[in-house]
Structure 1
Amino acid sequence: MIRGSWKALAWIALAELCALSLWFSASVIAPELIQVWNLSSNLEAWLSASVPIGFVTGALVSSYFGIADRFNPRKVFAFSAFLGALMNASLILADQAYLGILLRILTGISLAGVYPIAVKILSQWFPKKRGFAIGILIAALTLGSSLPHFIIMFFSSLNWQLVIICSSILALLAAIIVIWILEDAPVTINKSPFSFKLIKKVISNKPVMLANYGYFGHMWELYAMWTWIPIFLTASFTSYSPGISPWFIALSSFITIGIAGGIGCVVGGLVSDKIGRANLTIISMLISAICCILIGFTFGQYIWLTLVLSIIWGMSVISDSAQFSAAVSEAAEAEYVGTALTFQMCIGFLITIFSINLIPVIQRFVGWEWVFTGLAIGPILGIVSMVQYKRYEIGHVKGTIGSIK
């Protein structure tokens, strides 16, 4: 264990938490933006898809040019967080939908220099046994993504610009933490750059692709759930109790996505070390798939019932996230592990664009009671893939034990 690694983890996680508040900063104020920009139904879809599009674009460009290897990753993180804060704050000045959507795409590009780079910095501080550390980092990402719901609890009665200002300030704080407080790790890891030429090797590696298929199913569900569960809770709670406080709805969304999700990440990281990555992902996706199917039946029913099930869903939907990347890093050859991880992340976030925008289309036909059942397809297919991956995981463990003997 590198001296000071846990202190570094605390600062990295805090910076990640603050910077990721940019992801959903516009989503929580979407009703206001729709009115301000006079958004059509087609452009509404682009508003929700803009950040993932930017993120995928930024991740590919950053990985292809090896930015994290050519430059100090702390400086890359700090610059990206600063740029994201600037793009996010500029939304206040945007008076047209196209300009606002462009700014959200640029915000997504900047976040590609935050989340993947944070993983890079973390890997330098934890060259070995980083499972729990990654769990903490994903928990910070989860909590940070839900922060706009926490912010809106206090500013729901004021103008929407304050939500944007607060999230931008948090991103600036992330940049300050990383550039002036966090230190460089005393060791660096070997470079593992992205290469389009190596994608063929990634695709031909069956264990890697099985882990990828599991991740793709996980991502089909995750961001669509994070995007639409607050809207579902609003519709369900107001249906049961029309006079319910908006503050309580915002708090429920924050607990479901942030608090429950953060706990799920930490618990998932600890449990996976005991029962194996494949088993943890299978259990998590099974629980989340059941929640996808059941949550609609609570619509307009007792608030406590809807909230309890949504919290269980919030924990299970993210508890396995870190394990898919860990599985790929273990199954891929050192030559192309960087390409494999970039491929996994980019395809996964591309999938979220479709699932996020599919929910409102389905909702118009089947209502809130059945809309989330379509998300269950992702974890169900993911379970099938990880059951097959499990055989390779067992073989890898046996091979490792045999080599030690």
Structure 2
Amino acid sequence: MKKRPTLKLVLPIIVVSQFLCTSLWFAGNAVLGDIAKSYNHEGNLLANLTSMVQFGFISGTLVFAIFAISDYFSPSKVFGTCALIAGIFNLGICYTKIPIEFLMTCRFLTGFMLAGIYPVGMKIASDYYQEGLGKSLGFLVGALVLGTAFPHLIKSFSFNFPWQYVIYATSFLAAGGGFILFIFIPDGPFRKAGYKVNFTHFILGFKNEQFRSVAFGYFGHMWELYAFWAFLPLVLNFYRSQNHLSFNVSLLSFMVIGIGSLGCAFGGILSQRLGAKKIATAALCISGICCLLSPIVLTSSMPVVLIFLSIWGLTATADSPLFSSLIAKYSTAETRGTSLTIVNCIGFAITIISIQLLNILSKQINSKYLYMVLAIGPALGLLALIKKSNQKILQNESNFPNYKT
């Protein structure tokens, strides 16, 4: 039996593993221009490549949730195994002159295996940390954000190397991340294993009103986040061409997406003092305002655009770990992994709709207006969160005696 490391080492190990493994997520996006040269599908390739990863992730999370895999089996073993297999599938897109269907299948299967990495990583963290879970997940989701951005950084510094080196690097990193967690992180002290498969566990959380409130807040956040990330290079390229500027789009994309990792970390720290739900609500509100302001700001000077995108990148992700910590909080210990997984499943299904919608709109309207439609998600998410908060206030007021004057 593996000896547990000291609690101070557990979170850094999980964070590093999560960062290395989630570099697979946007690996295809980072080399999109190079891949597109081999096909005549450049117009839809961005949306389709991203959507196939999301669709694979959704399918994986659904399977993992229904069969309660991360509750029934050791989550560390699940994480390590999925990381290795995901890295292998990621390598599949390196082969030139392959049918477009094979390319999409490789991205789908990579996404499927990511279902055993991202939500399972949160499950492992929740098995070690009950107090301050929001802070712990803040660092963990921050690692996901940085990992998602990392392929853009590799691409920006790849110089004259073939684009396949980006894929080789991310696959190697993912395998290494899975190995590190598998070797050094055994099952946590607060883990309660599920003893049998229960096909109703994945919907139990939605019977809890507080669970539903934060889940719908998370769904609104997901409508915005991945579409914002996926179309960022396109929007930056449009801005560069319109203003006749010269800057490295890949590097700037990495910076805007990567700064979200700081938002996750700071959001988790602030949540310990101000409460997870308050910080998540504030972050969702600010990022929603950024969606609405984007057409105005994206015609401004470069310094203004940089400041605006930095604020947006920070707030667009700051609420993600807080929603996850609240979902874990309102779930039972036996179903926590399954609850996190099914909420992820629904959230990523929503990202496909927003990504495909932006893909359609990108052919119809000026690119500077694209992001306005993303405000729908934060608006509906805030409505669910505020409605629940108002109900709680009214309930508390009803507990006071009603005096007549």
Tell me: CA distance 1:267–1:90, structure 2 relative to 1, closer, same or farther (3 Å): same
Q: For the Cα contact (< 8 Å) 2:53–2:112, is it kept in 1?
A: yes
Query: How far does residue 4 in structure 1 lie from its aligned partner after superposition?
Result: 1.1
Query: How far does residue 397 in structure 1 lie from its aligned partner after superposition?
Result: 11
Q: Structure 1 counterpart of 2:318, which letter?
A: S
C-alpha distance in 2 between matches for 1:158 and 1:139: 29
Q: For the Cα contact (< 8 Å) 1:78–1:178, is it kept in 2?
A: yes
Q: Structure 2, unaligned stretches of length 5 or more? A: 398-405
Q: For the Cα contact (< 8 Å) 2:217–2:323, is it kept in 1?
A: yes
Match of 2:253 in 1: 253
Is 1:342 paired with 2:341?
yes
Query: How far does residue 104 in structure 1 lie from its aligned partner after superposition?
Result: 0.3
What is the correspondence of 1:89-128 to structure 2 with a 5 Å cutoff?
89-93=91-95, 95-128=98-131
Q: For the Cα contact (< 8 Å) 2:191–2:333, is it kept in 1?
A: no
User: Relative contact order (C-alpha < 8 Å, sep 6+): which is higher?
Assistant: 2
What is the correspondence of 1:317-396 to structure 2 with a 5 Å cutoff?
317-332=316-331, 337-391=336-390
C-alpha distance in 1 between matches for 2:198 and 2:231: 35
Aligned residues: 392
Q: For the Cα contact (< 8 Å) 1:27–1:227, is it kept in 2?
A: yes
Of 283-292 and 85-94, the range deviating more from structure 2? 85-94
Which structure is higher in helix share?
Answer: 1
Match of 1:59 in 2: 61
C-alpha distance in 1 between matches for 2:46 and 2:136: 37
Q: For the Cα contact (< 8 Å) 1:48–1:357, is it kept in 2?
A: no
Of 140-149 and 88-97, the range deviating more from structure 2? 88-97
C-alpha distance in 2 between matches for 1:397 and 1:7: 41
Match of 2:214 in 1: 211
Q: For the Cα contact (< 8 Å) 1:299–1:368, is it kept in 2?
A: no
Match of 1:235 in 2: 238
C-alpha distance in 2 between matches for 1:156 and 1:33: 17
What is the correspondence of 1:5-404 to structure 2 with a 5 Å cutoff?
5-39=7-41, 41=43, 45-93=47-95, 95-180=98-183, 182-185=184-187, 187-191=189-193, 195-198=198-201, 201-242=204-245, 244-246=246-248, 249-258=249-258, 260-332=259-331, 337-391=336-390
Query: How far does residue 151 in structure 1 lie from its aligned partner after superposition?
Result: 0.4
C-alpha distance in 1 between matches for 2:394 and 2:20: 40
Tell me: CA distance 1:56–1:397, structure 2 relative to 1, closer, same or farther (3 Å): farther
Q: For the Cα contact (< 8 Å) 2:286–2:315, is it kept in 1?
A: yes
Q: For the Cα contact (< 8 Å) 2:94–2:164, is it kept in 1?
A: yes
C-alpha distance in 1 between matches for 2:180 and 2:154: 21
Tell me: CA distance 1:159–1:396, structure 2 relative to 1, closer, same or farther (3 Å): farther
Q: Structure 1, unaligned stretches of length 5 or more? A: 399-405
Query: How far does residue 200 in structure 1 lie from its aligned partner after superposition?
Result: 5.6
Tell me: CA distance 1:51–1:200, structure 2 relative to 1, closer, same or farther (3 Å): closer
Match of 1:402 in 2: none
Residue-by-residue CA offset, 1:23-59 (whole Å, 9 max, x unaligned): 0000121122122133264565432211111111111
Query: How far does residue 343 in structure 1 lie from its aligned partner after superposition?
Result: 2.7
Question: SS at the partner of 1:365?
Answer: coil
TM-score, scaled to structure 2 = 0.89
Tell me: CA distance 1:397–1:165, structure 2 relative to 1, closer, same or farther (3 Å): farther
Query: How far does residue 138 in structure 1 lie from its aligned partner after superposition?
Result: 0.6
Q: For the Cα contact (< 8 Å) 2:120–2:337, is it kept in 1?
A: no
Tell me: CA distance 1:119–1:396, structure 2 relative to 1, closer, same or farther (3 Å): farther
Q: For the Cα contact (< 8 Å) 2:76–2:181, is it kept in 1?
A: yes
Q: For the Cα contact (< 8 Å) 1:148–1:167, is it kept in 2?
A: yes
Match of 2:400 in 1: none
Residue-by-residue CA offset, 1:127-155 (whole Å, 9 max, x unaligned): 43322111110110110000011101111
Tell me: CA distance 1:45–1:21, structure 2 relative to 1, closer, same or farther (3 Å): same
Q: For the Cα contact (< 8 Å) 1:223–1:356, is it kept in 2?
A: yes
Identical amino acids, percent of aligned pairs = 32
Residue-by-residue CA offset, 1:322-342 (whole Å, 9 max, x unaligned): 122222333345575554433
C-alpha distance in 2 between matches for 1:295 and 1:93: 38
Query: How far does residue 305 in structure 1 lie from its aligned partner after superposition?
Result: 1.1
Residue-by-residue CA offset, 1:107-165 (whole Å, 9 max, x unaligned): 00111111122112212222433221111101101100000111011115432111111
Query: How far does residue 396 in structure 1 lie from its aligned partner after superposition?
Result: 11
C-alpha distance in 2 between matches for 1:198 and 1:106: 25
Residue-by-residue CA offset, 1:151-187 (whole Å, 9 max, x unaligned): 011115432111111111211221232233x232562
Residue-by-residue CA offset, 1:66-116 (whole Å, 9 max, x unaligned): 322343322221111111111111211251110000000000011111112
Question: SS at the partner of 2:318?
Answer: coil
